[in-house]
Structure 1
Amino acid sequence: MRRPVTRRVLAALAATATGAAICVAVTTPQASAAVGSATGFATRNGGTTGGAGGQTVRATTGTQIHAALCNRASSSTPIIIQVEGTINHGNTTRVSGSSCNTAADVIELKQISNVTILGVGNGALFDQIGIHIREASNIIIQNVTVRNVKKSGSPISNGGDAIGMEANVRNVWVDHVTLEASGGESEGFDGLFDMKNNTQYVTLSYSILRNSGRGGLIGSSESDLSNDFVTFHHNLYENLDSRVPLLRGGTAHIYNNHYVNIRESGINSRAGGRAKVDNNYFRNSKDVLGTFYTNQAGYWQVSGNTFDNVTWSSRSSDNNPAGPNPTSNTSISIPYPYSLDAASCVPNIVSQTAGANKGIRTSNGSCATQNPTSGPTPGPTGNPTPTPSQPSGTNLSIGAGSDGSSKASGTSYGDVRDGNMSTAWSPSGATGQISIKWDTATRVSRINIREASGSVGNVRAWRVLNHDTGAVLATGSSAGVITFTATSLRKITFEITSSSGTPRVAEFETYAS
């Protein structure tokens, strides 16, 4: 049995073009490279373990990431790269070595294997710089944010893909990441998660893909049909035009994902692609499944999905939506074990678990979340992560007062403290405040923000305030149970600072413990 790591050493891992040494902290080998274990198709073909058992290196720049890759004994020597801070063009240079093939304008994982990149500490943000995986295998990327990667304009990186894979890639697990842009192709962005030219055995899990024209593709053209065996589960796809994903040939297992505001087309199976689509929740979207923009048919097997305010276009020679009332036109066998959450609870489960910096929580397969089982502390410390478990004790909001910054027509401040989930308060816009108040100081250490049915997950960012003093008690990115240091106050405020769709708070529960 390995002994716990008790010390760190400093190693000069590489030199810049001017000869300056790059020093990063290195620990002794660890038994696990990531938090938890791979799921889906990434568990096949020998499995995906990343850098498990290898040396652990801490990196705060893109150059240090490249240096860690280049100073391994070989291109297949296992390594765990723990990343903290902002990675951008200003701190990413090309590093040379016998075990790497890097570039200055992208995080390059080329012609290598057995690597884990894990966001830790206060978080890892890849800002305007993409991650490129080429001729590589056994790669894990976990708990990082990649945003605003452009293929045109300035600066450019990775062909505009947040994460892109191509040319004989095998066994990649991307987990608890946030991939986002600030527009579509006309603004210089491309895909958030692309696979092409013989990429196989990939899983994308517990991740957020949002605010872009294109979610991602499997196969770059109707002749690129060598890509196969991809799993997508417990992801949030939000504010996207299309490609969630675009599947050309191959097999994709797509389950327990939450789709919100897919504007043009969703899961686009074409050119013989086969998609098994289980227990997903589609909301406020158009043409979420079918074969689009081609007459080369694709296929799907559907079960247990929820279609909430989904519209469907008419069929034509190059437009074949699966709905309304989608039915299966093929049968697909899945070779690995998995548990399905009911589609009705997918919005809540995904809002609690998906994306970077949420503690790498996962579903237990029964509509509840569970804590990670291993690995270093990921994400920001000090920001509480809401959990779905019901607080114990008396709901102090019952019998208290309430007010707020604004209210939408037909809603009331009192609706959040009436114990009735069928009534709700909404602000008059996308943001606003709702408060619970008492005549005397009351001790509170936990609240439960319960969103109304049909709007779960609309609250995207929030603050909890001690209204008496203005002090911020907690911040976060999804509603639910929120715990903070016990505080005596007369008024507590839940402030919505960002939302998707119309936020609707059915209950604002408060508890002493």
Structure 2
Amino acid sequence: MRRPVGLRLRAVLTTMALTATTGWILSMPTASAATGSATGYAAQNGGTTGGAGGQTVRATTGTEINEALCNRASTDTPVIIEVEGTINHGNTSDVSGDSCDVTDDLIDLKKVSNVTIVGVGRGAVFDQLGIHIRESRNIIIQNVTVRNVKKSGSPTSNGGDAISMESNVRNVWVDHTTLEASGGESEGFDGLFDMKNNTQYVTLSYSILRNSERGGLIGSSESDRSNSFITFHNNLYSNLNSRTPLLRGGTAHMFNNHYVGLVESGINSRAGARAKVENNYFEDSKDVLGTFYTDEAG
């Protein structure tokens, strides 16, 4: 794979995406309780409802998020965790419980189901603390910012990914989020939105991904083709080097997205992948759609 030629960090004065009917749309809303229903592939396979119908818990620290997961009756008891404030390493500690498997260096949704994490009030910022979803299903993440998660340097979290999913994950809806870094791999960052090892039925909607070398991947290698049924719609991708996304195998649908300042490449469909790409807008970007850095075409 070619080395990146460097990032062009710049201010972006728009948070607009595209709609199928009217062209330009709304800016990102202020934080509020989760609303609406999952769209795209996350609405299939039985749908994605998160913690609907369960207890609502307010959290202002990472420890309180862990406690909300661990205090449930079981690993699949529905819960809505309303988050306000900055969540970081300093206020996140490990918690014990039969209904969770959490840690102190990331927000770990491991072997759980029926969970909503939603930013409310003044907003929720996960600062240098990534969100990891593993062997889980029916998860909603909404109205949050995840920024500057590192895999090297200090502190480290989640392998440098803002949000990552792996190992038999089903039905995840990530909506109205901002995922951002402050550079590339040489600065210690990795991907913003990664899926691997049999992750399916995921939607990323109305979100901003910016200022990173890597937007995200679907499949960790050319042989990891078990990930599929992913929707990306009404998102803004700004000042990224590549991977918007990198798709290895599987099926994905990208529509109504706005791409600005892609340095090396954009939607990279390879290794037998199938990407339906429609009604997107590419601005000041290179190699926006195709198969790149491999002979195995998508």
Q: Structure 1-normalised TM-score?
A: 0.52
Q: Counterpart in 1 of 2:290?
A: 290
Shift of 1:57: 0.0
Q: Counterpart in 1 of 2:166?
A: 166
Q: Which amino acid aligns with 1:144?
A: V
Q: Counterpart in 2 of 1:110?
A: 110
Paired residues, what number?
Answer: 266
Distance in 2 (CA, whole Å) between partners of 1:84 and 1:191 is 24
Matches within 5 A, 1:338-349: none
Distance in 1 (CA, whole Å) between partners of 2:89 and 2:82 is 19
Q: Counterpart in 1 of 2:265?
A: 265
1:45 has 2:48 as partner: no
Distance in 1 (CA, whole Å) between partners of 2:35 and 2:106 is 25
Q: Counterpart in 2 of 1:230?
A: 230
Distance in 2 (CA, whole Å) between partners of 1:139 and 1:256 is 23
Q: Counterpart in 2 of 1:192?
A: 192
Distance in 2 (CA, whole Å) between partners of 1:94 and 1:273 is 39
Distance in 2 (CA, whole Å) between partners of 1:243 and 1:96 is 37
C-alpha offsets along residues 359-407 of structure 1, whole Å, 9 cap, x if unaligned? xxxxxxxxxxxxxxxxxxxxxxxxxxxxxxxxxxxxxxxxxxxxxxxxx
Question: How big is the alpha-carbon RMSD for the aligned residues of Structure 1 and Structure 2?
Answer: 0.6
C-alpha offsets along residues 188-244 of structure 1, whole Å, 9 cap, x if unaligned? 000000000000000000000000000000000001000000000000000000000
Distance in 2 (CA, whole Å) between partners of 1:242 and 1:138 is 29
Shift of 1:34: 2.4
Q: Structure 2-normalised TM-score?
A: 0.89
Distance in 2 (CA, whole Å) between partners of 1:176 and 1:34 is 10
Distance in 1 (CA, whole Å) between partners of 2:77 and 2:89 is 27
Q: Counterpart in 1 of 2:13?
A: none
C-alpha offsets along residues 129-151 of structure 1, whole Å, 9 cap, x if unaligned? 00000000000000000000000
Q: Counterpart in 2 of 1:95?
A: 95
Distance in 2 (CA, whole Å) between partners of 1:222 and 1:153 is 28
Shift of 1:278: 0.5
Shift of 1:96: 1.1
Matches within 5 A, 1:18-33: none
Shift of 1:183: 0.1
1:252 has 2:252 as partner: yes
C-alpha offsets along residues 449-480 of structure 1, whole Å, 9 cap, x if unaligned? xxxxxxxxxxxxxxxxxxxxxxxxxxxxxxxx
Distance in 1 (CA, whole Å) between partners of 2:132 and 2:94 is 14
Distance in 2 (CA, whole Å) between partners of 1:176 and 1:272 is 30
Q: Counterpart in 2 of 1:243?
A: 243
Distance in 2 (CA, whole Å) between partners of 1:168 and 1:277 is 26
1:131 has 2:134 as partner: no
Distance in 1 (CA, whole Å) between partners of 2:136 and 2:259 is 30
Distance in 1 (CA, whole Å) between partners of 2:37 and 2:111 is 24
1:292 is paired with a residue of what secondary structure? Answer: coil
Distance in 1 (CA, whole Å) between partners of 2:179 and 2:34 is 19
Tell me, yes or no, if the aligned pair for 1:255 and 1:279 is still in contact at 8 Å.
yes
Tell me, yes or no, if the aligned pair for 1:248 and 1:270 is still in contact at 8 Å.
yes
Distance in 2 (CA, whole Å) between partners of 1:193 and 1:96 is 28
Q: Counterpart in 1 of 2:35?
A: 35
- Return 5+ residue gaps in structure 1 as ranges: 1-32, 299-513
Is the radius of gyration larger for structure 1 or structure 2? 1
Distance in 1 (CA, whole Å) between partners of 2:226 and 2:93 is 32
1:153 is paired with a residue of what secondary structure? Answer: coil
Q: Counterpart in 2 of 1:394?
A: none
User: Which protein has greater RCO, CA pairs closer than 8 Å, 6+ apart?
Assistant: 2
Q: Counterpart in 2 of 1:451?
A: none
Q: Counterpart in 1 of 2:84?
A: 84
Q: Counterpart in 2 of 1:181?
A: 181
Shift of 1:123: 0.4
1:66 has 2:69 as partner: no
Tell me, yes or no, if the aligned pair for 1:252 and 1:275 is still in contact at 8 Å.
yes
C-alpha offsets along residues 173-192 of structure 1, whole Å, 9 cap, x if unaligned? 00000000000001000000
Tell me, yes or no, if the aligned pair for 1:34 and 1:52 is still in contact at 8 Å.
no
Tell me, yes or no, if the aligned pair for 1:270 and 1:297 is still in contact at 8 Å.
yes
Distance in 2 (CA, whole Å) between partners of 1:62 and 1:272 is 40
Distance in 1 (CA, whole Å) between partners of 2:275 and 2:258 is 16
Q: Counterpart in 2 of 1:219?
A: 219
1:66 is paired with a residue of what secondary structure? Answer: helix
2:265 is paired with a residue of what secondary structure? Answer: coil
Tell me, yes or no, if the aligned pair for 1:71 and 1:99 is still in contact at 8 Å.
yes
Q: Which amino acid aligns with 1:261?
A: G
Report the identity percentage. Answer: 81
Distance in 2 (CA, whole Å) between partners of 1:262 and 1:43 is 29
Distance in 1 (CA, whole Å) between partners of 2:246 and 2:68 is 34
1:285 is paired with a residue of what secondary structure? Answer: coil
Matches within 5 A, 1:396-415: none
